[in-house]
Amino acid sequence: MYYSPHKLLRRTVHSYYTVPAVLFLFLVTCVCSPLSAQNNNGGNNNGNNNQNNQNQNAGGITIDAAGVISSPFRVAKNSKQLNGRRLEALAAETLSTDLNQKSEFRKISLVKLEQACRELKEKNQPIPPEVQYLAGLWRIDYLFVDQENNDLIIAGPAEGFAANTQNRMVGVESGRPPLRLDDLAVAFKSQERGLITGCSFDAKRENLARMNEYIRRTNGASSTTTAVTRFKTMAKILGMQDVSVTGVPAGSNYARVLVEADYMLKRISIGLEPSGIREIKSHLATLRGGGNSTQRWWFTPLYDAFTTTADRDAFTFSGQRLQMMSQEEFVNQAGQRSDAAQTRLSTTKYAQQFTKHFAKLADQHPTFAELQSITDLTVLAALIKKERLEQQIGWDHRFFSSEMDYLVPEGNIPKQVPTAMNYKKASRLMICLVGGGVTVNARAVVNRTEFLTSRDNTLDQKKTAAFERRGEKAARWWWD
């Protein structure tokens, strides 16, 4: 059994090699197109360092002190009933009774939230969980402008929350992570500067050159066993890939979510991590022989039209928030990438399948639910800026923008990730996959998404309900 990759040697990253009965995928490069990076703030969080472990030790990846990302760690899975009872018990111990309640329409005053944070800092107090996790709100469905009280109010579903067995904070009933204060502050800061947020993993150019040289030296017919050994060697040659984060502080939870979602996308695509969704198989499982190309996948925002009132003082968020895009590429010996003239049908279909069932995936994987959350917060910040809502109520959210050291705990900065590979038996095929990426261009979302004026009074009724505060709730920053 033999193969010969002569005609493919002119490419730096080879995607398809003719070989009997083995299919390979290499995780080579994550491609995205963010603009400029925001400098990581170097200060320490005096009152909130207890949240740092959320950055490197929670969820699906670990980031060590050197910035090296490890594969998702495994934990013993309890039954849904046992895990639910455990979360309920933890939430009951740590949260007030009213906070630990499920609500389909929990409201948060952004102005009063900022004021509460300012008061905590003035008293040199740490940020409590109810503030850090925005009163258990896990999705933004509405944004209201309260002109009378000079306030901006967000609203959506909420519930009690507690840390799961992976040390990730999740809702007691839904299992979805609540929105986070530090992500909100990062989102405001990024949109204040009009930045695109994202991440990428990039193979070192010298390693790409070494891999080319290795392919040139081993360019000869071989058995399948030898072919397997050669491709494993190529993975070792590619070695550690550089991780870059743009638009946000590299040590923030926001950055960790970008990197983790990117990494999990890659692992699911090449079959190293199960999706947990019957409709989403690995790309590896769907591939057949034929053709030569490299492939990349990346996440971008996906929103339905924003519904607004005639006075544009209320807005509805809808849609699944994210979609997966695909593109085939060619890479030359100098490591330069260019888009292929066409993207094969299997690549396009896989991206469409991933997008179609992404909502189910986010329900199963908190990683992707958190990516939805930071996208919501970033689009929120961009919408507020586009509509000049701060100016309408006389609010400059200066504390959110200037007190990043206090509001945003800094964890380990992701710097490197090892090359991963996978293969399967197939008909005369080896494939190299260039996969992954996250690009959140929130400004483009609010500029390009359609705004529809509500034709009935439903949104006005929601706005009126949002402004109703009775008793002690009138002075509180959140209420049901």
Is the per-residue pLDDT at 295 higher than 70? no
Q: What is the rounded average pLDDT for all residues in the chain?
A: 79
Most confident of 137-151, 226-240, 322-336, 350-364: 137-151
Q: Determine the Cα–Cα distance for residues 289 and 169; give it in Å rounded to an integer.
A: 43
* pLDDT recorded at residue 335: 42
Position of tokens 């990581």?
40
* pLDDT recorded at residue 84: 76
Q: Give the H/E segment covering residue 23.
A: strand 23-27
Token digits of residue 156:
């959506």
Comparing 143-157, 256-270, 343-357, 421-435, the range with the smallest average pLDDT is: 421-435
Comparing 158-167, 313-322, 417-426, 438-447, the range with the smallest average pLDDT is: 417-426
Kindly indicate the confidence band of residue 200, based on its pLDDT and cuts at 50, 70 and 90: confident
**What is the rounded average pLDDT of the residues 235-256?**
91
Comparing 48-52, 98-102, 310-314, the range with the smallest average pLDDT is: 48-52
**What is the rounded average pLDDT of the residues 315-320?**
94
Is the per-residue pLDDT at 475 higher than 70? yes
* pLDDT recorded at residue 342: 44
**What is the rounded average pLDDT of the residues 420-439?**
60
**What is the rounded average pLDDT of the residues 169-183?**
95
Determine the Cα angle at 434 with ends 281 and 3, to 5°: 90
Q: Tell which phi-psi region holds residue 412, choosing left (phi > 0), alpha (psi between -120 and 50) or beta.
A: beta
Residue 2 CB neighbour total at 10 angstroms:
13
Token digits of residue 87:
């979360």
Instruction: Spell out the residues 6+ positions from residue 19 whose beta carbon is closer than 8 angstroms to its own.
Output: 1, 3, 224, 227, 428, 429, 430
Query: How far from the centroid of its chain's Cα atoms is residue 429's Cα?
Result: 32
**What is the rounded average pLDDT of the residues 109-113?**
97
The percent of residues above 70 in pLDDT, for the chain, comes to 74
User: 288 or 321: whose pLDDT is higher?
Assistant: 321
* pLDDT recorded at residue 288: 62
Burial 169-204 (b: 16+ CB within 10 A, else e): bbbbebbbbbbbbbbbbbbbbbbeeebbbbbbbbbe
Kindly indicate the confidence band of residue 296, based on its pLDDT and cuts at 50, 70 and 90: low
* pLDDT recorded at residue 12: 31
What is the 3-state secondary structure of the chain? CCCCCHHHCCECCCCEECCCCCEEEEECCCCCCCCCCCCCCCCCCCCCHHHCHHHHCCCCCEECCCCEEECCCCCCCCCHHHHHHHHHHHHHHHCCCCCCCCEEEEEEEHHHHHHHHHHHHHCCCCCCHHHHCHHHECCCCEEEEECCCCEEEEEEEECCEEECCCCCEEECCCCCCCCCHHHHHHHHHHHHCCCCEEEEEECCHHHHHHHHHHHHHCCCCCCHHHHHHHHHHHHHHHCEEEEEEECCCCCCHHHHHHHHHHHHHHHHHCCCCCCCCCCCCCHHHHCCCCCCCEEEEEEEEECCCEEECCCCCEEECCCCEEEEEEEEEEEECCCCEEECCCCCHHHHHHHHHHHHCHHHHHHHCHHHHHHHHHHHHHHHHHHHHHCCHHHHHCCCCHHHHHCHHHHCCCCCCCCEEECEEEEECCCCCEECECCCCEEECHHHHHHHCCEEECCCCHHHHHHHHHHCCCHHHHHCCEEC
Q: What is the per-residue pLDDT across 53-108, written as a single tens digit (0 to 9) for each?
A: 444 445 577 888 888 888 654 444 444 555 778 899 999 999 999 999 999 999 99
Dihedral sign for Cα atoms in the order 468, 474, 478, 479: negative
* pLDDT recorded at residue 378: 96
**What is the rounded average pLDDT of the residues 112-120?**
96
* pLDDT recorded at residue 72: 58
Q: List the one residue out of 368, 367, 374, 412 whose CA is nearest residue 69.
A: 412
* pLDDT recorded at residue 436: 53
**What is the rounded average pLDDT of the residues 121-147?**
96
Is the per-residue pLDDT at 48 higher than 50? no
Kindly indicate the confidence band of residue 257, based on its pLDDT and cuts at 50, 70 and 90: very high
* pLDDT recorded at residue 86: 87
Is the per-residue pLDDT at 35 higher than 60? no
**What is the rounded average pLDDT of the residues 454-462?**
92
User: 473 or 121: whose pLDDT is higher?
Assistant: 121
**What is the rounded average pLDDT of the residues 307-333?**
80
**What is the rounded average pLDDT of the residues 397-403?**
91
Most confident of 24-28, 168-172, 470-474: 168-172
* pLDDT recorded at residue 346: 58
Is the per-residue pLDDT at 201 higher than 60? yes
Can you name the residues that pair with 86 across neighbouring β-strands? Answer: none
Comparing 6-10, 251-255, 415-419, 466-470, the range with the smallest average pLDDT is: 6-10
Q: Determine the Cα–Cα distance for residues 424 and 427; give it in Å rounded to an integer.
A: 10
Kindly indicate the confidence band of residue 345, based on its pLDDT and cuts at 50, 70 and 90: low
Q: At what angle do helices 366-386 and 181-192 cross, to 10 degrees?
A: 40
The percent of residues above 90 in pLDDT, for the chain, comes to 44
